[in-house]
Chain A
Amino acid sequence: MPSPEIEEFAKLLVQQVRDVAIGDCDVALRPNAAGPVFKRWKEAAHKGNLESIVGIVVPDTVDDTIFHLLDAIDNGLLNLSFTAANGKKVDLPTDGLGELAGWYIGTGGWRALYSQERFIDDFADLVGFFGPSKEGK
């Protein structure tokens, strides 16, 4: 039997990540489900074949689940640390500045940088939204 501390971690992980992600995705079944994600899910479902559904719902669902893991870390619900290959240990809630979930899901974020699988970027049109960058000038 795992220690009470591991059980505490397990409970937080299941309730704050898994269950929240499922609850998020279940919103797609509501008549008022809004936004681009649920719109494309419904379109995929209307196509009536498993290919279209799996092709879209799977990456969105995985991304939502990881998003909620990072969101739980960002908000201090999951106090996790990470030991890098160089041995340096970082406290994710503190050193992540509460921005991990955003870095993951935003345009040009971690999915674009590191994923070798499909994902859908709903924010790509926001690049250059405020005009030309002044960085590097």
Chain B
Amino acid sequence: MTYLSGKPTGILSGQPAGPLSGYSTWAWHPHFGDIDDVDLAKLWMHLASFGVTGPGWSDGDDNGSAPGKNTSAATTPDVRRAWLLSPEEMLPRGCFVASTEPIGCLEGGGGAGGGGGGGAAVGAAEEAAPAAAGIEVGTAAAGAEEPAGTAEAGAALGPYGKGRGHHIPAKRAFTGDPNYDINAALAIPKLELRAQGIFHPQITGAQQSLYREFARTGQPLTWDVVRSIETQALTRAGMSPESASITVNKAISALQASGVSGPVSIPWGGK
């Protein structure tokens, strides 16, 4: 597998100590605690012949026509139910604990009854979006400050203009429909993505790749195809198939209820 180009950028070279050494994140996390300062100029020599193998990795096609070194890493999503935070972590964040099952709780504030905790890591960016998300669909209580979807009920959804995040389905499919409003359209809010443990680019990347492939078939885009693609995109990003299906169905039902008659174009389809 070709993984690294072995091309020193100069960014790391010449630094006597590792730039990671000053970041507490690398020190306190158990997986990163054993990282020592290193001479990164020397490290580049090792990186040049560096290869990564392991579960979930597959050798990718080295695209000879492209200058970039592409490592394909198609993996089966690691889907599991788990505590988002340990009990010891919950109280300082103002979470309301009332379940013996894994529950969702987001940094930056409590849910219903939560009282709004700290959450510095999530902090400032959220100021741009109103805190209340009373129009959420799903398990999040109306008026709760934070969404909190569950595996049984799918991800919590809210208007994009409220919580930002990721449009479900892709906005481009409906752009131009007079009943479609990009800000009122439902999305998985940014905080809900984090609560679900999902990396946002993974959803968009799968969406783009799937819609682009579908466009090549020459077939018209239908609600059923949208449903299928969106569900697969969420599943690949790590959501359980059941939760993904419920989430997508909620979003599509909301679009239909708002008067959107159907997809008007294929996202990334060039039309």
* A76 in contact with B182 given A50-B35, A103-B208, A126-B209 (CB within 8 Å): yes
Q: Shortest Cβ distance from B190 into chain A, in angstroms? A: 7
- Stretch in B66-74, B109-117, B133-141, B251-259 touching the partner: B66-74
Q: Shortest Cβ distance from A30 into chain B, in angstroms? A: 5
With a cutoff of 8 Å between Cβ atoms, the chain A residues found around residue B73 in the complex are: 36, 40, 120-122
Interface residues on A, range: 35 or more
With a cutoff of 8 Å between Cβ atoms, the chain A residues found around residue B71 in the complex are: 118-121
State which residues 120-156 of B face A: CB under 8 Å: 121-125, 127-128
Q: Shortest Cβ distance from A120 into chain B, in angstroms? A: 5
Query: Given B54, B61, B69, which contacts A43 in the complex, CB threshold below 8 Å?
Result: B54
Chief secondary structure at chain A's binding surface: helix
Most buried by A among B7, B80, B205, B267: B205
Per the bound structure, the CA–CA distance linking A117 and B75 in Å amounts to 22
Contact A30 B70 (CB under 8 A): no
Query: Given B5, B31, B197, B206, which contacts A116 in the complex, CB threshold below 8 Å?
Result: B5
* A106 in contact with B205 given A52-B52, A129-B210 (CB within 8 Å): yes
Contact A40 B56 (CB under 8 A): yes
Contact B68 A115 (CB under 8 A): yes
Q: Shortest Cβ distance from A55 into chain B, in angstroms? A: 5
* A130 in contact with B217 given A103-B208, A112-B63 (CB within 8 Å): yes
Contact B199 A15 (CB under 8 A): no
- Mask of B153-190 contacts with A, CB within 8 angstroms, 1/0: 00000001000100000111001000000100000001
Per the bound structure, the CA–CA distance linking A37 and B77 in Å amounts to 9
- Mask of B39-69 contacts with A, CB within 8 angstroms, 1/0: 0000100110010101111001101001111
Q: Does B78 touch A at the CB level, under 8 Å?
A: yes
With a cutoff of 8 Å between Cβ atoms, the chain A residues found around residue B57 in the complex are: 40, 43
